[in-house]
């Protein structure tokens, strides 16, 4: 491989500075944070820094304050947590679980599952999954969802996994030059190029009144632990404020590649009655659409967010 090797850290490949091999910086905790202790939850990490399976909890039982505090702590530590065998979980329990983090926030583009706040994502031969692009839910809103709680209702016998990428690692592994370049930049997020692609002009104009384009910093601070996170994603981030069209496109094309680095990711294989809860600011996710024409049905509740800084 014709690469110039100048340090023992991540090495640039050819002329693409973000495509590097070698050592990665992978921090599970925010700088200065202490390793949390758990009394109720059993934690089985799926990677050293993102994703853990949790045992010892039946999510259809009432969630007391001690359990709620441990769940919040586990999500902050692992960024996405998984539960299996939650057959008793009904929409009312699903809502109670999401309420551990805050009130539900409806997705304006997903149909409701019959319960307010619960979206149904049903994919089959007629409706193929289109969440197979790295994204953060609702980044096109002024206060993007803090998290999402997804449960599997019907899963294909093989395939249909979901992946998450740690956007703290995505930021940490940028070059110092890139970090300095993006530190004070903001980006526009807009649902029209993705969700709007199948709508009529009239429908777009209708939605536009309540969902205009919004701006967020390119590097946000996590609302709970202050950690720096790269906050641009492929479907919803449309341009970088203050740059020419070409500069903006080139910079975004480079930054969105970070979510694709395997060491920043975790992959989860769904079984019937699995649940995933993710920190939607600290991660992006990608629903693998490899099960066509088989059916996959999920129910999701997004947790209302706060403006990002």
C-beta of 230: minimal distance to ligand SIN in Å?
Answer: 18
Q: Taking the mean position of all CA atoms in its chain, how far away is CA 73?
A: 17
User: Is 135 tagged catalytic?
Assistant: yes
Of the residues 151, 227, 296, 300, only one is catalytic, namely: 300
189 neighbors 231 (Cβ within 8 angstroms): no
- Tell me: does residue 162 bind ligand SIN (CB under 6 A): yes
Of the residues 137, 166, 190, 279, only one is catalytic, namely: 137
Residue 185 phi, psi (nearest 5):
-85, 155
Residues 279-298 binding ligand SIN (CB under 6 A) are 285, 287, 298
Using CA atoms, how far apart are residues 178 and 196, in angstroms rounded to an integer? 32
C-beta of 148: minimal distance to ligand SIN in Å?
Answer: 6
C-beta of 119: minimal distance to ligand SIN in Å?
Answer: 8
CA torsion through residues 224, 228, 233, 236, sign: positive
C-beta of 261: minimal distance to ligand SIN in Å?
Answer: 19
Of the residues 135, 189, 222, 227, only one is catalytic, namely: 135
Q: State the alpha helices, DSSP H only, in the chain.
A: 65-78, 91-98, 167-172, 176-182, 201-210, 245-256
117 neighbors 301 (Cβ within 8 angstroms): yes
**How many residues line the site for ligand SIN (CB under 6 A)?**
10
Nearer to ligand SIN, 94 or 285 (CB): 285
Using CA atoms, how far apart are residues 85 and 17, in angstroms rounded to an integer? 43
What is the chain's alpha carbon radius of gyration, rounded to the nearest angstrom?
19
Nearer to ligand SIN, 258 or 283 (CB): 283
- Contact letters (x/-) for ligand SIN, 134-153, by CB under 6 A? ---x----------x-x---
- Tell me: does residue 300 bind ligand SIN (CB under 6 A): yes
Nearer to ligand SIN, 259 or 287 (CB): 287
User: Is 172 tagged catalytic?
Assistant: no
Name the helix (H) or strand (E) containing 186. strand 186-189
Length of the chain in terms of residues written = 309
Using CA atoms, how far apart are residues 41 and 183, in angstroms rounded to an integer? 37
User: Is 166 tagged catalytic?
Assistant: no
- Tell me: does residue 275 bind ligand SIN (CB under 6 A): no
User: Is 161 tagged catalytic?
Assistant: no
Contacts of 94 (CB under 8 A, 6+ apart): 118, 149, 151, 299, 301
For binding to ligand SIN (CB under 6 A), which residues are involved? 121, 131, 137, 148, 150, 162, 285, 287, 298, 300
Which residues are catalytically annotated?
135, 137, 285, 300
């Amino acid at each position: 491989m014709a690469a110039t090797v100048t340090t023992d850290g991540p090495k640039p490949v050819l002329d693409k500075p973000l495509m590097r091999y070698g050592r990665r910086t992978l921090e599970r905790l925010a700088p200065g944070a202490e390793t949390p202790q758990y009394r109720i939850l059993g934690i089985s990490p799926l990677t050293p820094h993102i994703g853990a399976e949790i045992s010892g909890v039946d999510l259809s039982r009432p969630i007391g304050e001690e359990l709620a505090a441990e769940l919040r702590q586990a999500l902050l530590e692992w960024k996405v947590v998984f539960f299996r065998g939650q057959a008793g979980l009904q929409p009312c329990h699903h809502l109670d679980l999401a309420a551990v983090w805050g009130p539900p926030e409806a997705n304006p583009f997903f149909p409701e599952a019959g319960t307010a706040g619960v979206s149904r994502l049903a994919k089959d031969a007629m409706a193929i999954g289109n969440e197979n692009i790295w994204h953060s839910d609702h980044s096109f809103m002024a206060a993007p969802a803090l998290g999402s709680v997804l449960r599997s209702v019907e899963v294909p016998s093989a395939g249909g996994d979901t992946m998450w990428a740690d956007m703290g690692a995505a930021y940490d592994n940028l070059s110092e030059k890139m970090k300095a370049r993006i530190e004070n930049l903001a980006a526009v997020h807009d649902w029209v190029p993705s969700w709007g692609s199948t709508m009529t002009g009239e429908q777009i104009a209708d939605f536009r009144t309540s969902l205009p384009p919004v701006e967020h910093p390119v590097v946000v601070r996590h609302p709970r632990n202050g950690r720096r996170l790269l906050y641009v994603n492929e479907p919803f981030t449309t341009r970088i404020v203050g740059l020419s069209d070409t500069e903006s496109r080139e910079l975004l094309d480079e930054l969105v590649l970070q979510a694709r680095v395997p060491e920043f990711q975790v992959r989860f294989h769904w079984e019937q009655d699995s649940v995933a809860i993710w920190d939607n600011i600290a991660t992006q996710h990608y629903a693998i659409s490899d099960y066509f024409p088989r059916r996959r049905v999920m129910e999701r509740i997004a947790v209302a967010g706060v403006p990002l800084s």
